[in-house]
A = this chain, B = another copy of it.
Amino acid sequence: MNYTFSNRISELKPSAIREILKVTQDPNVIPFAAGNPAPEAFPVKEMSEISERIFREMPASALQYGVSEGYMPLRQAVRERMQKKYATGTEEDDVIIVTGAQQGMELTTKCFINEGDGIICESPSFIGSLNCFRSYRANLIGVPMEQDGMDLEKLENALRENDNVKFIYVIPTFQNPTGRVMSLAKREKILELARQYDVMILEDNPYFELRYSGENLPTIKSMDTEGRVIYVGSFSKILSPGIRVGFVLANSAVISKLTVAKQVSDVHTNLMYQMIAHEMLTKYDIDAHIAKVCDMYREKRDAMCDAIEKYFPKECTYERPDGGLFLWCRLPDGYDGVAFCKLCGTRGVMGVPGSSFAIDENEISPYIRLNFSLPSFEQIERGVKIMGDTMREFIG
């Protein structure tokens, strides 16, 4: 039969990154494209121990239906950790456990966005969130990223010129794809603008604990006294992405609605891994684990930066991030990252073209995003060399 898909889905393109991920399952391709953690960073021994213990001591609870809000002890542990360690979350706030941070975006969009409503996004931004917003036919309004976060003048223009903006979507720390950090002054100012124009902020913060240099900055949510910020957190980068466990921390009225949406979406998140995440937070030294992961990734970041200095032509630039998983590289003006990445693909190295993260899907971008967490040191050296050689050829 001929299928007539809904308007919201028929124009949506598959995520370039997810498609690329399939290619990177080829072990011969050097994987600079994905956003995968290093397998060595997974706390395998600890999770395995916890899993065995749960199977031994309370299998019936772990395998039975749970509630849509999530496993209560995990919700409490998340609240406590965010409150004690990052002063984030108030008495009026609550937590829902979601099937990865991506579901936090999905449920928030479903609960707040009517077709045509505006969402202001950093430009460029994370394609998974952009496509989620697009899947509810939101009107995406891009505001260019500067080194320290959104261009505030353009943000204010966007707020002034668009009546129906529902929220500003930001990844304030080690932004995907740029790796940039929003300054404290901009965090304060964006919250102030949100207040002034009565819109919400969706703060997506999966990378903030992966800091390799520089000083921590407060979350935007930690400055929020009115329940204006919806904070989305993830265990993907500090424990494992395959477990699909994340959380949303927001005013309890918002969490109630997200819960209703989650009931009809997947009922609840895999319960065993909610319980495992809970034990990782409460019975193990998660901070020590994160510190170890940071040590590992710092070396990889440095290795990739060193290789770039060595192999990239001087016309091609890059930004050295203080954390996260990505380097943001740039071809000279006028060159297209898509054509370049395709060429690299044929030579066994995959990066992601910057246009994948553009708000305007037809934009041509000279940028390339490179991941340094997944490849080995050897792959970093070899892959960057191939890219450098290809660049010289590409830019003639």
Contacts and interface: CB of A to CB of B under 8 A. Distances in A.
A266 B48 contact: no
Interface string A276-318: 0000000000000000000000000000000000000000000
30 contacts: A1-B200, A1-B227, A1-B228, A3-B112, A3-B254, A3-B257, A5-B112, A6-B111, A18-B263, A21-B67, A22-B67, A39-B64, A44-B59, A47-B55, A48-B55, A48-B56, A48-B59, A63-B243, A64-B242, A65-B242, A98-B266, A102-B265, A105-B264, A106-B264, A106-B266, A128-B267, A131-B264, A242-B272, A244-B268, A244-B271
A311 B15 CA distance: 59
Chain B CB within 10 A, most for which of A34, A60, A110, A244: A244
Contacts of A348: none
B128 A110 contact: no
Nearest to A130: B264
A35 B271 CA distance: 17
A339 interface: no
Given A21-B67, A265-B103, A110 B9 contact: yes
A311 B257 CA distance: 41
A198 interface: yes
A241 to B, nearest CB: 5
B272 A243 contact: yes
A48 B52 contact: yes
Interface string A24-59: 010000000011110100101001100110011001
A39 B55 CA distance: 13
Contacts of A55: 44, 47-48, 51
A217 interface: no
B112 A240 contact: no
A270 interface: yes
A269 interface: yes
Given A66-B242, A244-B271, A269-B270, 20 more contacts: A3-B253, A3-B257, A9-B111, A9-B261, A13-B260, A14-B259, A14-B263, A42-B59, A44-B55, A48-B59, A63-B240, A63-B241, A63-B242, A100-B267, A102-B266, A103-B265, A128-B264, A132-B265, A242-B270, A244-B266
Contacts of A115: 115
A34 B268 CA distance: 15
Given A51-B51, A63-B42, A99 B242 contact: no
A263 B132 CA distance: 8
Contact of A63 (B7, B47, B251): B47
A395 interface: no
A99 B6 CA distance: 21
Contacts of A111: 5-6, 9
A273 interface: yes
A135 interface: yes
B100 A266 contact: yes
A267 B244 contact: yes
Interface string A212-247: 000000000000001110000000100011111000
Interface string A187-212: 00000000000101000000000000
Given A12-B260, A100-B267, A64 B240 contact: yes
A114 interface: yes
List 5 tightest A-B contacts by C-beta distance, closest first.
A39-B60, A63-B240, A48-B55, A242-B271, A132-B264
A225 to B, nearest CB: 10
